[in-house]
Chains A and B, each alone.
Chain A
């Protein structure tokens, strides 16, 4: 696979014509948005002043006006940016992905299926709304994989019957074939309990997690501090999590600024990185030529696709061939 610097070169050199056109569009959109914002604020202030004079400052109509204003602004914002975002994905992200591997398929509007997300068993709540974008599918060094942005939400009702939406997971979700056969389920989650309460009490809490299978303590203290492992077969969990695999996962988590969730189900590895934001979206308030911005696109793609090599999923057990 191409190195990060090769890809950055590609970004600046090969994509330069597209980048400069998009950069022009970006600036136009930005000035248009500024204009809209200016007009909107003036209109809002005038309305507020009028309502304030007529009905008083704390009239219910004021609330309606504010909510309406926020809703309208977000609609206008999306409408203004949508063409630019589409262009950006077509002209920048698509070639970038193909530069990493020409056989990868990319679909900006599609997502890893909800079925796979639920199969991973990483998140226990039932999902009420599921979405995502930037779907990539293909095979890296003979290992089939797919990933996309995922946003999974659940709904609650408060005492007044109002529905509220909560994010269950937002970030990158990847599914790849694992290099060993297994039939049990092994789930690796970030270890909050042990970090907060220490290994004795935290460990006790973890073993009392009834929504999960049995707690499996691993024989790598560092790994055990960072993650908690649940599974229904302690032997198979260790067959998957060899000392080297634990070390690789630990290294991966150390490089990530976000929590990492990994599960092994149905001969596949499922990886969820809770970035909390939508990836591969075009920058609006920073230049597309900005180095940090470029590196973010390149690194996110490279690190995700590079996971196959990093976790050595391509070194298949002979019997799996």
Chain B
């Protein structure tokens, strides 16, 4: 009888510990996603200004600019899921990246103080977004590992926890070694 009680105590204690650690990991993911969301919003705030300032100059990139505006309005919609936000972020990063590259071809733009200011702000926000993405990915990996690994997978299954999606870190971001573009070198 005593042995049975001891086993019961050990099992319930480990169940509680596993449950709590899973909840901790899930909350960590949600917390960091809130951080990601905050920097993504910062970027949304910047986009209308940027588009308004460059569209006069960038005739050939009209479609890209329109796409950026459209992606922004999609991202601003309330009630979209985290997965959708992640997918939108990838598209928006790519579109903004191509605008930044295209800006090189317009000397008038590079002479425009206002545009340069916006571009630098954007570069800084991109750095913050990149950091937030990496933090989120680590938290998600911790959660996903716990969901899949034995024995926490049993508890996670019972709690109906789902694997989360990670941000894809682009090759460009990996090769961030030369950050010269992000800084205003003197």
Binding site for B on A (CB under 8 A): 216-217, 219, 234-239, 242-244, 247, 315-319, 321
Check: B78 CB closer than 8 A to any chain A CB.
no
> What are 11 A-B contacts with C-beta separation under 8 Å?
A217-B138, A234-B138, A235-B36, A236-B131, A237-B131, A238-B131, A242-B131, A242-B176, A243-B173, A319-B120, A319-B124
B185 contacts across to A, CB distance below 8 A:
315
Cβ–Cβ contact A243 & B177, under 8 A: yes
List residues of chain B with CB under 8 Å of any chain A CB: 32, 35-36, 120-121, 123-124, 127-128, 130-132, 134-135, 137-139, 142, 173-174, 176-180, 182-185
Contacts of A236 in B (CB 8 A): 131
Q: How far is the CA of A102 from the CA of B64 in the complex (A)?
A: 52
Contacts of A238 in B (CB 8 A): 130-132, 134-135
Contact between A219 and B138, CB atoms less than 8 A apart: yes
Please pick, from A216, A244, A319, A321, the residue contacting B177 in the complex, using a CB distance under 8 A. Answer: A244
B177 touches A318 (CB 8 A): no
Check A244/B134 contact, CB under 8 A, given A234-B139, A235-B35, A239-B127.
no
Q: How far is the CA of A244 from the CA of B179 in the complex (A)?
A: 8
B176 / chain A contacts, CB cutoff of 8 Å: 242-244
Q: Does B120 lie within 8 Å of A318, measured CB to CB?
A: yes
> Which residues does chain A contribute within 8 Å of B131, judged by CB atoms?
235-239, 242
Residues of A within 8 A of B178 (CB): 244
- Collect the chain A residues with CB atoms within 8 Å of residue B142's CB: 217
- Grouping DSSP codes into helix (H, G, I), strand (E, B) and loop, the B interface class, with mixed when no group exceeds half, is helix
Residue contact A317 to B183, C-beta cutoff 8 Å: yes
With A239-B128, A242-B131: A315-B183 Cβ-Cβ less than 8 Å:
yes
Given A243-B174, A317-B124, verify A235-B132 contact (CB < 8 Å): yes
- Contact of A235 with B32 in the complex, beta carbons under 8 Å: yes
- A317 surroundings in chain B (CB, below 8 A): 124, 127, 182-183
Asked if A242 and B179 make an inter-chain contact with CB atoms under 8 angstroms apart, the answer reads: yes
Q: Is the CB of B179 within 8 A of A318?
A: no
How many A-B contacts at CB < 8 Å in the complex? 62
Known: A243-B177, A244-B176. A318 touches B183 (CB 8 A): yes
Beyond the given pairs A235-B35, A239-B132, 20 more chain A to chain B contacts, judged by CB atoms under 8 angstroms and listed by A's residue number, are A217-B138, A217-B142, A219-B138, A234-B135, A235-B32, A235-B128, A236-B131, A237-B135, A238-B131, A238-B134, A239-B127, A242-B127, A242-B179, A243-B174, A243-B177, A316-B184, A317-B182, A318-B124, A318-B184, A319-B124
CB pair A247–B177 under 8 Å, yes or no, is: yes
- Kindly list the 5 A-B residue pairs having the minimum CB-CB distance in the complex, ordered from nearest: A239-B131, A238-B131, A234-B135, A318-B120, A318-B184
**Bound form: Cα–Cα A197–B123 in Å:** 41
Taking CB atoms, residues of chain B closer than 8 Å to A318 are: 120, 123-124, 183-184
A206: min CB distance to chain B, Å:
14
Question: Which residues on the A side are within 8 Å of B121 (C-beta)?
Answer: 319
Chain A min CB distance to B50 (Å): 15
Name the B residues within 8 Å of A237 (CB-CB).
131, 135
Q: Closest approach, in angstroms, between the C-beta of A27 and any C-beta of chain B? A: 49
Nearest A-chain residue to B34, judged by Cβ: A235
Residues of A with C-beta under 8 A to B120: 318-319
Complex-state Cα separation, A21 to B173, whole angstroms? 57
Cα A158 to Cα B124 with chains together (Å)? 54
- Shortest distance from the beta carbon of B101 to any chain A beta carbon, whole Å: 19
User: For A239, what are the chain B residues with a Cβ–Cβ distance below 8 Å?
Assistant: 127-128, 131-132
Q: Is the CB of A234 within 8 A of B124?
A: no
Residues of B within 8 A of A247 (CB): 177
- Cβ–Cβ < 8 Å partners of B32 in chain A: 234-235
Closest to A214 in B: B28
Whole-angstrom CA separation of A314 from B180 in the bound complex: 12
Query: Please, how many angstroms separate the alpha-carbon atoms of A97 and B126 in the complex?
Result: 39
Q: Does B137 lie within 8 Å of A219, measured CB to CB?
A: yes
Contacts of B128 on A, CB cut-off 8 Å?
235, 239
B174 CB to closest chain A CB (Å) equals 7
What is the bound-complex CA distance between A292 and B12, given in angstroms? 65
Q: A235 with B135: in contact, given A316-B183, A317-B183 (CB under 8 Å)?
A: yes
Nearest opposing residue in chain B for A244, CB measure: B177
